[in-house]
Structures are given as structure tokens and as C-alpha cells.
Amino acid sequence: MKGKLEPSERQTLIEQGKNLKEGLVALEEDLLKLNDELQREAQCIPNMTHPDVPIGGEDCSTIRKTVGSAPKFSFPVKDHLQLGKELDLFDFDAAAEVSGSKFYYLKNEAVLLEMALLNWTLSEVMKRGFTPLTTPEIVRSSVVEKCGFQPRANNTQVYSIDNSDQCLIGTAEIPVGGLHMDSILAESTLPLKYVAFSHCFRTEAGAAGTATRGLYRVHQFSKIEMFIFCRPEESDYYHDELIKIEEDMFSSLGLHFKTLDMASEDLGAPAYRKFDVEAWMPGLERFGEISSASNCTDYQSRRLGIRYRPSEALVPGPKKSKGNLAPPQFVHTLNATACAVPRMIICLLENYQQEDGSVLIPEPLRPFMGGRNIITRKSS
């Protein structure tokens, strides 16, 4: 085109140039679609598993630790539903009319108990160097997927909002995981430790049976979640730290519980290793899960684009330049439930019930209950 050309030749080349430009636009559109498809396929691949994880289904999970012993009662034990009815703490019937099954109203001291659990948990975890957060409770579907959840799958636990690319969160792990999305963190800032309060929403698809009655399995609940971003070589250490925080808090509430190293089929897509805490629930006459702590290694950070730049330069020199900076690496992410309110209420009501139908408040929660130390029947 720069040389001397006949007008007809020039016109031919102009047409060819237009065709190339249009073809390139089409190819770029195809490339975007293929990249999206590749990302979706890759997101179906689960994380690796820790060499010590038991292989198999939930029954293959191993007990790491047992704390305390089941309380002995000299009277017939009531479950939380009966206690809640007699002490006027819940209303499931009205909630079913207003919202549907698996919803509830908390009333009277149950409301104070929820607030006490949240405030006590938050203060305990903050003492250990965690930054408090409240989070958005509606997030983009893409962030849910990048955290390892499948919002559009069959039997999904995720509520999707019609005619939008947004979902309700099932855990604060999702918005906290997205907090540093597509960023490179300075190594000196790690570890980043957050403790987040949020409401959680779950479809509980496929859940049924007496073990799910009452507050045990519900569509909406309050939860406090711990989340850590750290260097890869430190994630096993922080996994142990998270489970110890949980164990310390549940011990101080006087609960009888066991900690499990969960088997491979129960890990879910993101977790490299997961420890669950199951507490004794006398009314249900069984242990029930109240918490878990997961090391997700770089599974979430790769999808969310969260990296850090090691502070050591590749080639030591007087000045740091782009040429001698160490390449950024993916952080590891960990999450752990500090307090899932409904199941904690079950544990406290059933374990601390008294023969006269009242329920004692555990010592650590009393300052957060306005000084109350017992829940008694309302005088008619």
C-alpha cells in the first residue's frame, strides 16, 4: 500500500484489509467464547488432596480429637424444638406461612442468644489478630464459581437471582475470597486474616428426614467465618491454627465434641484437606456438625487471580527493577466456621437444659446477654 499502485490494485488491497479486520474480530469473539468454555471445564476439576486424607466416603473419616464427655441427665431429655416451644423462643409455623418451610422466627432470649454468640465469637477471634468484616450478601455468579461452588448445577445449594448474574451467598467465604480478586499482594502483608459476619442462604436441596428438623437445617442463618490468605508453605500451619481456635471456643462453652479429618469424597471441590467439628446434641441423641476448617491451597486463588510477589529479588542488586523482581505466586486460602448460629443454639439449649425446663447460659456468654444467666418459662 505504501508503494506506487494502480487504483484497481489499491482498491483490491483495501478490500482485503477490510476482510482481514472483520475476520480478526470474529476470531477474537470465538477466542473469548472458547476461553470461557475452557474456564468452565477447568472449574469442574476438584483440588488435589493432602497425602494424609483418608480415601473414601464420609464413613472413612478419622477422629483427630475428642473433647469432654456427654452430660448426664437425671430426667427425660428434651430436644431444642420442645425446649423452644416451652420457653417461647421460636416460631416455625408463622415463618412457614410467611416464607415457607425451613424458615424460623427467633424470639425473646433466643434473639439475645444469637447476638451474644455473634459478639462473643467476634471478640474472641479478633483477639487472635483477625480483621473484622461485614460482607455483601449478593455476589456475582462468576465469583461463586471461582470459589469452587456450582450455582447452576442440579441440586445446587446456591440461590440464583432470576434475570441476573448474581447469587445469594451460602457462606461469607465467597465474598471474602473475592475481596482481593485480580490483585498482587505484597509479601509483607501476608498472612491476611479476616473474620466476617454475614447471613447465609442455602437451598438445602435433597435434605430431608428427622435429623434436619427445627434449626438443624435451614434456608437462612447468621454465621461468623474466618478466612486467611497466606504464603503456600504456611497453609498447613494456619489450618492447624484455625481448627485450634474452633476447638478452644467450643471447649470454653463446655461442649462435648470430636474433630474429624474428613475423607476424600466429603471434601467438595475446593478443599485440599478439611477438618469438621461435630458436637453432641442430647435431644437429637447424636453428634451434629457445627463447624469445619478447610485448606483450599491455591485452588481458589488461581481462579480468583490472587497472587503475591515474593520480597526476595531473583538477582540481588542495588536496585529493584522489573527484570530482577521475583515472579508473583498464587497465595493459599483457608476458611473456617467460627460460629454457625442455629446449630450453636441447638447445642446450648439441649446441653444446658435443667430439670425444671429452664436452660442455663454458659459463663462466657453471660456478659453478652445483659447479665442473664438462665432462660426460664414466661409467666402467663
Question: Are the beta carbons of 373 and 138 closer than 8 angstroms?
Answer: no
Residue with cell 476461553: 35
Q: Catalytic pick from 145, 217, 247, 273?
A: 217
- Cell numbers 475428642 correspond to 66
Active site residue 152: no
In whole angstroms, what is the distance from residue 5 CA to residue 7 CA?
A: 6
Catalytic residue among 292, 294, 303, 307: 292
Catalytic residue flag (residue 343): yes
Please state, in angstroms and as integers, the Cα–Cα distance from residue 228 to each residue in 181, 274, 335, 336, following that order.
14, 15, 6, 9
Cell 432470576 locates to 162
**Residue whose C-alpha is closest to residue 299's, from 145, 158, 156:** 145
Q: Is 289 a catalytic residue?
A: yes
**Given 289, 358, 366, 372, which residue is catalytic?**
289
- Is-contact 288 83, C-beta < 8 A? no
Kindly state the cell numbers that stand for 285.
441423641
User: Active-site residue 251, yes or no?
Assistant: no
Specify which residues 198 forms β-bridges with: 223
Helix spans in the chain (H)? 7-42, 80-86, 92-98, 109-126, 141-146, 173-177, 235-252, 299-304, 341-351
Catalytic residue among 141, 142, 202, 303: 202
Q: Which is the catalytic residue, given 114, 264, 343, 350?
A: 343
Assess whether 241 carries a catalytic annotation: no
Catalytic machinery residues? 202, 217, 289, 292, 343
